[in-house]
Structure 1
């Protein structure tokens, strides 16, 4: 496939008079309402539904295998290969389809707050509300930046175009195709806007390591003394809650990168879960949802137009997209120095991991690669006991390169910039889920504050005999008895059984990694065979 020809086809499309380019928020809201794509809520946010697809469709995401990607991408069930021929065929069909539309929408902006590493991007949308989403989630250009914008990656999104798997070589009507050679993301058959956001995160996870920059799926904030903290954690671990600290300014809530200059936010907005959202629990998110924000699949009272965040009849994955400037306590621009403290959050439903432990560099790399948390019993039919869930580097769906690439970069940066790394269990204590109880949020906050302020660096420590973790025996604001998990269990034998069970799951998961040093492999838990 000729790259010049593909750029020419795109240029022809964008030369049409029906392309609305870089509309303002107000103009896009008007378009959404005029076109009947969504409705206006009492908060001022636009509300839209995504139809059949209410979340990402990972089985429909592919990377084009060509001479550029072939030897770099870690091919497998996450990074599924697709031929350049299939990509070329679908790309031509989608452009032809879009040419026949009455209106299209283009946004030009950036990914990456550090100008040295930012990616100039272009998003072409069939829907106005998707273009509003892109405007709120990516970094918006100034007038001068827009005048001098040279697109380095393009997202083409045509949700109403549905593929024919038998003809087009896809698995279903939906497709997310990434071509690193042609620098194009092609999306069709799905109205879920998160595909736009996450496809660019995947692109950054491919491009940044080649510039010696570590991309990270984490939140970040900075203290009054300029100290930087990173928070990694899967859904349900408390990442958003714990990184939203009134005494610290937010750098960003989801996607960051760590260069030799420091940490920077990849995005210009936030994509927050809305399920059971209240002002009392999440005041920053609740108050950020106002005019120009986008609500996905949130039910609204037909009379008052107030969102009902407790209603999950469409999906539990209800979302809000808004610019980071809708949060008061932020860093602008969204960059800071090198991390002093790195927090790995896990919600251990087995109730056996310490509430906080300090990690060596090798342990940090081990737990970064593991990305552990628990799926809880009772959340799904048929789940009667906790299920261990592992997501490599806390973001496996978005990692085009081999996992060791990211882990080795993390280890090097921990060494280079002397970052302290802690594993924090926000899950269960005193027994497993159903018998013990959830760690008190006040205790977790006290432990994280102590970690951030360096109060645990010289604390007396104990060694966990199974997980090999270094555990402080005292922490301000936390009872000493809480810090050693075994001491919180009445049945010590049951604790041993559960700890061994989880240790085995860690080992089984880690067996999939190759090419790692023995020091990293030995940094995991021990277990009785």
Structure 2
């Protein structure tokens, strides 16, 4: 039988293993090892090879006596046996034992100390260790870090390639979670985001057990303590819209909501950088400096990032600690949410740019989680693809979606939260014909929603989706508020809108009779 604790203890106690290196030490090591290059801004730039996004088809959960009756098994949570995990774990440890250097980080997931998770990450690459140092919560001192007793471990070996025929995987890459052994085993992929999202999945498993809502959302707070949450999949605008110079950033991607309020699960941000500019997104642009990591961003001869170049991938990324944002809230905790924004990148171009949802509609759209996967966010995605992702984060949910939906519904009722649906996708036509929503207009609409200004205005019903659309928003052209007005031919819009409506209805059937009441009350008539 494999003794997992003994194997990992022997590995991290080797003289060649570097424990809890500082940012500057990790940057130096990455440059010395040829893993990356310093940019003109001071950030470390690395490439991730052919894996430039997550590999959901290579992600597994070990089925054992702990997980068997708790996990929502299926295409998202694919099962794998304990024997397969143990054999692969043994091979990965042997692989790492042969390396001249390894890098270990100890830290936390969760800014709420009562429910935070003690972490240990073992990396083959020094730049990966810098990545997790940026993304997870850093202990205040080295002594504190070294005293952490990990409750969960990530073991990452990118250069270990699995053999599907003998190792029981689907490809050379694998991300395997063992809830019983409290280990996440990653191999065959250099994409650093797998580590971040794996821990999020663990928190989505653990927090509900404590009665805490876990959420795939960004969050910020104003001077009046008005917390706003932004739900959405990658590329819908969570990071961009939450980075507001007039509000403190709580976090850009993963949060919990308990009896005291909202808290960040992470200690950093992981922002998409394709077409990034200082003019459009100044907070993110300025956060990319020494200590930050750039993934797959093309550099010119002077070492300057070319954010418009998607040669390697459309999913170019920047990973930086939260304190690189000037108005970040540290520690990243705040009160209860007053406004929730569901973000959808509608590639059909038929949903309104903003609409207000009643409580039943909020439950319906949360469980539906409609958006479009944008180019590069997953392997093989090269153009926007319509997708329904329950709770705006189904790839990271180990439990049934209704668990999270019911928790959110109770919180909306208890705290009288205003909920809006915001389309950050296309207008004037579908992808390839229309254009992407104007970011300036979207920011203005969101700020009006958060401030309460939209509560005072008038609304009219969208005839297809039964959504309440404001008749006017200060600072936004009135003609864009009803999407049909932006299309050159109304009949084509009608056809496309009704097609999407039917997709919503068909998708919701998968939730069965338990969700019939939500479908009747919040769905499309």
CA distance in 2, matches of 1:481, 1:42: 43
CA distance in 1, matches of 2:315, 2:488: 37
Is 1:349–1:376's contact at 8 Å kept on the other side of the alignment? Answer: no
Distance change (3 Å), C-alpha of 1:154 and 1:370: same
- What are the Cα deviations for residues 255-289 of structure 1, in whole angstroms up to 9, with x where unaligned? 11111111111111111112122222222122111
Task: Specify the alignment match of 2:280 in structure 1.
Answer: 281
Structure 1 gaps, min length 5: none
Structure 2 gaps, min length 5: none
Distance change (3 Å), C-alpha of 1:267 and 1:453: same
Task: Specify the alignment match of 1:181 in structure 2.
Answer: 180
Is 1:462–1:471's contact at 8 Å kept on the other side of the alignment? Answer: yes
- After TM superposition, the structure 1 = structure 2 runs for residues 63-462 of structure 1, keeping only pairs within 5 Å, are 63-143=61-141, 145-302=144-301, 304-374=302-372, 388-433=386-431, 438-462=436-460
Distance change (3 Å), C-alpha of 1:490 and 1:282: closer
TM-score (norm 2): 0.93
- What are the Cα deviations for residues 412-471 of structure 1, in whole angstroms up to 9, with x where unaligned? 111111111111123344554555555444433332222112222243332333312223
Mean Cα deviation higher: 305-314 or 71-80 = 305-314
TM-score (norm 1): 0.93
Runs of 4+ residues deviating >6 angstroms: 383-386
Distance change (3 Å), C-alpha of 1:167 and 1:405: same
Distance change (3 Å), C-alpha of 1:491 and 1:178: same
Mean Cα deviation higher: 388-397 or 197-206 = 388-397
Mean Cα deviation higher: 147-156 or 489-498 = 489-498
Indicate the RMSD between aligned Cα atoms, in angstroms. Answer: 2.4
Distance change (3 Å), C-alpha of 1:354 and 1:88: same
Task: Specify the alignment match of 2:19 in structure 1.
Answer: 21
Mean Cα deviation higher: 60-69 or 433-442 = 433-442
Distance change (3 Å), C-alpha of 1:360 and 1:21: same
SS in 2 for 1:336: coil
- What are the Cα deviations for residues 303-345 of structure 1, in whole angstroms up to 9, with x where unaligned? x222222222222221111111111011111111111000012
Q: How far does residue 220 in structure 1 lie from its aligned partner after superposition?
A: 0.7
CA distance in 2, matches of 1:339, 1:322: 25
In the alignment of these two chains, the number of paired residues is 521
Is 1:47–1:298's contact at 8 Å kept on the other side of the alignment? Answer: yes
CA distance in 2, matches of 1:252, 1:357: 24
Mean Cα deviation higher: 202-211 or 227-236 = 227-236
Q: How far does residue 235 in structure 1 lie from its aligned partner after superposition?
A: 3.8
Distance change (3 Å), C-alpha of 1:51 and 1:490: closer
